[in-house]
Structure 1
């Protein structure tokens, strides 16, 4: 388990990853800024958990990447932006993305073997497309 409270995580160089969760990894960020030239967080394997509170995630190539992963991602009072895809799920991944009072910018893409469930709650926003064959979309009355 990785718990980070405060500070900045920064990566440079092509194809870099800010945080890699392999298997049953758990990462909790609070009051943290993550800036990656590549991807902010990568998931492989089962039962990965990624949680943010009052944090900023910026990835040039994407924010989240999941390959054969079962992961739960929860963002609270945070933002996630990218020039690439917000979330890319592939190879049978099953991803739950719960967003509370947070702003997301970027597309969500899942291949035909993967599922993405997205919940936007408490004044959350998503600016981007959702390209997924399987999954759920739940948006409360305060979110868009």
Structure 2
């Protein structure tokens, strides 16, 4: 029995590591996507990046904490967005600070579309550059 447990453990550890790496890659791509669409300068991007990663961490934590109560979850996300909008506004103007969340939503929808398309293709990955340009 122990033997099977260890085999299962050895097989599962790399899988969890791959999932964590994928989350980091997606967060990186989302950040780059938003920076590009907002037209951030290098200085703005340098200041924006750590705040945006804190925002993503807080969003994930909020989802875990309030996943059973949808209304409270939505309220907490709105509160987080209002708080982070203020922080983004110190780096970029208010209009672009609001657009951060629009581009975040667009990126998430695009990731979902890609995942669904991959599932329809029997798990065969799409082309290497699978993110289409979003207006």
More helix by share: 2
Task: Give the structure, 1 or 2, with the largest relative contact order (CA under 8 Å, sep 6 or more).
Answer: 2
Larger strand share, 1 or 2: 1
Q: TM-score, normalised on structure 2?
A: 0.23
